[in-house]
Amino acid sequence: MTVVGNRSAGRNGWAQPDHRPAPAHETEAQTAVGAPRTTGASFHDMWRDLAPIGRNTTTNGYRRYAWTEADADCRTWFKEQAQNRGLTYEVDRNGNQWAWLGDPTAGDAVVTGSHLDSVPDGGAFDGPLGVVSSFAALDELRARGARPTKPLAIVNFGDEEGARFGLACVGSRLTSGQLGVAQAHELRDADGLSLPRAMERAGYDPDAIGPDPERLARIGAFVELHIEQGRALADTADPVGVASAIWPHGRWRFDFHGEANHAGTTRIEDRRDPMLTYANTVLAARKKAKLAGALATFGKVGVEPNGVNAIASLVRGWLDSRAADEETLAAVVGEIERAAVERGQRDGVDVRVTRESFTPVVEFAHDLRDQLSGLLGGVPVLPTGAGHDAGILSASVPTAMLFVRNPTGVSHSPAETAGEDDCLAGVAALAEVLEGLACH
Ligand SMILES: [Zn+2]
């Protein structure tokens, strides 16, 4: 298996030769009606075109934040993919993009897709692999001459990662009503710009956002293909797996209030240093999570006044925590909070904890999951700790996920990688699934 990724590969993220130009006989008009092309060629062409968008040349990571220029370029790419294939292109009231084969209003549609935005310095595969594979799988179906009896659609959900406004899956949450309009108006980026204003600046109507039950009612099944963000498949012979569940997870903001003072003149015993309380809380989080078989991470921190020679007045740390069940998660977060408060009392630091988001456990539709596993010849069925639009949608429509093997398990990093053969196996599996769900 060839392993390729940002770090080892060329500009487009693949070790493949910087992809060959389309043969002269393959005109745009031919591909537009789905002229037979190999799945690999279709996949590589799309991957190559998408690869440079929003990539930071210093870190080699992606910075495709919602409603920015890089995001707009990704969205233009999606629109072109839809139009090149003669698909019906739509943007819904929440800015999610859709490409339809068949009548969008007919109902019982089979929908696939993922997202194109990224975390700060994210990898090439988280999100885009699902969207690119969706178009490639559709090409594969057309090349096979498959005849869908149901509408098929590909979706790009907006703002999945929450990198800019701090809340993940905004596009799918708004659509499903899991994020209220008033709450969406409260979301602000680091510059204080609200989500509606950011959407407006990107050319979208912020007054339109809100629940979209009519759109959800069109969907009979949603399947999201995604790179695995762990190593469950890494040591198996299977390049593709089916998801069983998504662990419950949430984000908590810890505010540690101390007292700013001079680093050179303030006696140790006179200090109220929130950095100490914060540091101790980070260690406690690791310990409590490990003991409970859960996960707890402080990956983002803000310090005021943020001076080298000043004791901080405020340290603000964000905790991300996940566990197999909600009881365990609540217990772990509770213990971390208690540890923070106890340590804060010793340091003269006031601790306040705010839950910023919470996503309950998601059990994917068992019928659909079993159907997919059957269509793919009994591939592994595995849970994940990562949230996805599929998890949000599962409350409204039958939903399933396919995972593509990640040899290192690394994700949310420029080093995120996947084998080329595995990615194409993912496309083939998705094509099987779409054919099984929509063509019989
Ligand atoms: Zn993702």
**Hey, where are the domains in the chain?**
3-247+361-438, 249-359
Q: How far apart are CA 44 and CA 42, in angstroms?
A: 6
Q: What local confidence, expressed as pLDDT, does residue 359 receive? A: 85
Q: How far apart are CA 294 and CA 384, in angstroms?
A: 12
CA distances from 410 to 41, 47, 399 (A): 26, 20, 25
- What is the percentage of the chain residues whose pLDDT exceeds 70? 91
pLDDT tens per residue, range 183-198: 999 999 999 999 999 9
CATH of domain 249-359: 3.30.70.360
Q: How far is the CA of 237 from the centre of ligand 1 (A)?
A: 23
Instruction: Report the binding-site residues for allantoate.
Output: 251, 309, 322
Q: How far apart are CA 176 and CA 222, in angstroms?
A: 13
pLDDT-derived band at 38 (thresholds 50, 70, 90) equals low
CATH architecture assignment, domain 3-247+361-438: 3-Layer(aba) Sandwich (3.40)
CB proximity list for 283: less than 8 A, separation 6 or greater: none
Q: How far is the CA of 412 from the centre of ligand 1 (A)?
A: 9
Q: How far apart are CA 287 and CA 283, in angstroms?
A: 6
pLDDT-derived band at 37 (thresholds 50, 70, 90) equals low
Q: How far is the CA of 417 from the centre of ligand 1 (A)?
A: 13
Mean model confidence pLDDT for the chain: 91
* Cα atoms found within 13 Å of the Cα of residue 117, Cβ hemisphere only: 28
Q: How far is the CA of 436 from the centre of ligand 1 (A)?
A: 24
Res 404 pLDDT > 90: yes
Res 172 pLDDT > 80: yes
Q: How far is the CA of 228 from the centre of ligand 1 (A)?
A: 9
Contact predicate 380/367, CB 8 Å: no
Q: How far is the CA of 181 from the centre of ligand 1 (A)?
A: 23
Cβ neighbours around 346 below 10 Å, total: 10
Q: What local confidence, expressed as pLDDT, does residue 8 receive? A: 39
Q: What local confidence, expressed as pLDDT, does residue 7 receive? A: 38
The sign one gets for the Cα dihedral 168, 169, 173, 178 is negative
Q: What local confidence, expressed as pLDDT, does residue 41 receive? A: 83
Q: Which amino acid is at 33?
A: V
Q: How far apart are CA 151 and CA 30, in angstroms?
A: 22
Q: How far is the CA of 66 from the centre of ligand 1 (A)?
A: 13
Q: How far is the CA of 161 from the centre of ligand 1 (A)?
A: 7
Q: How far is the CA of 352 from the centre of ligand 1 (A)?
A: 30
Q: Which of 88, 105, 94 is nearest to 176 (CA)?
A: 94
Report helix angle 420-438 to 366-375, nearest 10: 120
Res 28 pLDDT > 80: no
Instruction: Name which of 111-120, 289-298, 373-382 the model is least confident about.
Output: 373-382
Q: How far is the CA of 224 from the centre of ligand 1 (A)?
A: 10
Instruction: Name which of 173-187, 208-222, 297-311, 379-393 the model is least confident about.
Output: 379-393
Q: How far apart are CA 391 and CA 239, in angstroms?
A: 22
Contact predicate 61/5, CB 8 Å: no
Instruction: Report the binding-site residues for Zn(2+).
Output: 115, 126, 161, 226, 412
Q: What local confidence, expressed as pLDDT, does residue 375 receive? A: 95
Q: How far is the CA of 275 from the centre of ligand 1 (A)?
A: 32
Q: How far is the CA of 366 from the centre of ligand 1 (A)?
A: 22
Res 2 pLDDT > 60: no
Q: How far is the CA of 115 from the centre of ligand 1 (A)?
A: 6
Res 286 pLDDT > 50: yes
Residue 206 DSSP label: G
Tokens of 123: 């990898």
Tokens of 217: 């009612």
Q: What's the average model confidence in pLDDT over 146-169? A: 96
- Specify the DSSP element, H or E, that contains 69: helix 69-84
Q: How far is the CA of 230 from the centre of ligand 1 (A)?
A: 13
Q: How far is the CA of 351 from the centre of ligand 1 (A)?
A: 32
In the numeric block, the tokens 């908590």 are attached to 252
Q: Where are the alpha helices (DSSP H) in 264-383?
A: 274-292, 326-347, 366-375
Instruction: Report the binding-site residues.
Output: 115, 126, 161, 226, 251, 309, 322, 412
Q: How far is the CA of 303 from the centre of ligand 1 (A)?
A: 29
Q: What's the average model confidence in pLDDT over 58-87? A: 97
Q: How far apart are CA 222 and CA 220, in angstroms?
A: 7
Res 131 pLDDT > 60: yes
